[in-house]
Amino acid sequence: MANNKKGVIGILTGGGDVPGLNPAIRAVTIRALREGYQVVGIRRGWGGLIDLIRDKKADNSNNYQFLTEEIVNRAGRTGGTFLHTSRTRPSSVRKNSVPEHLRDTYNEEKNDLTPEVIKNLDFLGVNYLIPIGGDDTLSYAVRMYQEGLKVIAIPKTMDNDVPGTDYCIGFSTCVTRTIMLTNSLRTIAGSHERFLVLEVFGRYAGFTAMLPTMAGAAHRCVIPEYKFNIEHLTELMVKDREANPSRYSVLLISEGAMFEGGEMVFKDRSTDAYGHAKLGGIGDLVSERIKEISPNFNNGKTVDVVNQKLGYMVRGGDPDAVDSIVPMAFGNLALDLLLKGVHGRLVVLKNGRYDNMPLDVVTASKKVVNVKYFYDTDRYRPIYENFEMKPLFIMTSEG
């Protein structure tokens, strides 16, 4: 349906929202329009591409919109994504999630709607695709590239765990918010001489707990990469509290952290559209246990706990400076590649320099904290040494 001599670029955002998505959409759109391309914003990530009806008379306004400078300038300084997002993976759509107009064709318990996505992109006239997302969104982008589409991807996730890049959009704002909220809550913990336990995002990677702790927001942190001993953790927190003139201690705990001998803690048996069981509750369990165990290390006296899940509070609101600048650079880098005729790439930050990597790096490896180099497994806190020549956020794809 789109028609442009130079070409049409489709852009979408998938997975969880983060501050920095709208600046990335703005950067891609403004540069593309000035280079003579048309830009189509796909609504709700990959979801917009399976819901679309290939009929010029159909109302598909809920699935896409043509982008202009006016539209993206209005949203470009705000958080979230004005294109909306979803956790849809077209290669594995549950029977009850198949769009009504496709149910006669796709009626298995799990359905691969990739043929429909390809036809819908062709219907829209999209020549190039720029998906912005985490490893789930981008793993399907790899599939699209393998199917012959011209794809250039931009990494986004506050967990900062997309392989191949030192930085993902949303991470800096998440760390900034975590430090700010922790500092706000510590006054309550200090007033009542309590432990402060804060659960943060991080299913498989502990970067969002490590960096704020490294910056001084917490005394200890526990992360998914290393199972912790609750007795030892409680002993450390009691010692931190005793040493603190304000008589409190702070723990940051990743949502994917695990007790020694245990597994991840889940909310319930439900899963998201990607098939991931929904995490939640490790902060509650740890709070209960350290309160229960605290008398063993505190002369028989119980230490009460201030327990808070930071959750959406760290992903809401406007982007910070880093998440305003990096998305702008990533968007322009994607256009640089497109203009050179280069596809199947992931734009990245490596050792402080903007670069690009083969897109399949997203599915070829996992990015997690290197416990040996960065995490003290006895003290449950980051290692503060050997910073020379490290990148801005210390822990990289390789490290």
Q: Which residues are known to be catalytic? A: 159
Instruction: Name residues whose C-beta falls within 8 Å of residue 232's C-beta, 6 or more positions apart in sequence.
Output: 380
